[in-house]
Amino acid sequence: MRDPCRVQERDRLVEEAYQRKMGTAAQLARTDAYMRRHTLSHQALVDPTSRCPQYPSQVVRVVPNSFGLGGADPAVISMVADRLGSAGAVDLSSTPLLPSRHRAAATGAQSAAQAEAARASARAAAGSGSDGDASPRGDDGGPAGIGEGSPASGDDAGDGDGDGSRGRGSWKALSMRKPSRFEEERLAASKARHTERVKRDRPQQPAAGAGPGSASAAAPHSGASPSPAPVPGGVSFVASPPEVVFEDAVAGRTRRAEVALVNAGPVKGAIRLLDVPGEVADTLEATLPPPGALAPGSGCTLTLEITPKVEADVTATLQLLTPTGRLLLPVRLLARRALPTLSPDGVVEVGVRGGGVMVAARAERTITISNAGALDVTYDIKVDGPLGEAGVVSEGSDDKATGARTGTTSAGGQAGSDTAALARAPPSVSVAGFTLRGTRGVVPGYGQVAFQVQFAPRVPGPVEVPLSVRFAAPANRALAVPAARLVLAGVGRELPVSTEHDVIDFK
Q: In 3D, which of 95, 55, 59, 57 has the Cα closest to residue 79?
A: 95
pTM of the model: 0.45
* Alpha carbon distance 382, 485 (integer Å): 10
Q: In 3D, which of 298, 453, 472 has the Cα closest to residue 362?
A: 453
* Alpha carbon distance 28, 96 (integer Å): 25
* Alpha carbon distance 78, 92 (integer Å): 9
pLDDT interval class at 312 (50, 70, 90): confident
pLDDT of residue 125: 64
* Alpha carbon distance 92, 81 (integer Å): 7
Give Cβ neighbours of residue 91 (< 8 Å, ≥ 6 apart): none
Q: Is the pLDDT of residue 208 over 50?
A: no
Can you tell me the mean pLDDT for 395-414? 43
* pLDDT per position as a tens digit, 14-58: 999 988 888 888 888 888 888 777 777 777 766 666 666 666 666
* Alpha carbon distance 58, 46 (integer Å): 11
Q: Higher pLDDT residue, 381 or 408?
A: 381
Can you tell me the mean pLDDT for 275-290? 88
Can you tell me the mean pLDDT for 494-503? 74
Per-residue burial over 367-388, b if 16 or more Cβ lie within 10 Å, else e, is: bebbbebbbbbbbebebeeebb
pLDDT of residue 224: 40
Can you tell me the mean pLDDT for 479-500? 82
* pLDDT per position as a tens digit, 181-199: 999 999 999 999 888 877 7
* Cα 349 → chain centroid: 55
Per-residue burial over 496-506, b if 16 or more Cβ lie within 10 Å, else e, is: eeeeeeeeeee
Domains and CATH numbers, the chain: 4-107 (no CATH), 197-203+235-335 (2.60.40.10), 340-407+414-493 (2.60.40.10)
Reduced to 3 states (helix: H, G, I; strand: E, B; else coil), residue 426 is: coil
Edge-to-edge strand order for the sheet containing 448-455?
340-343, 363-371, 448-455, 434-437, 428-431
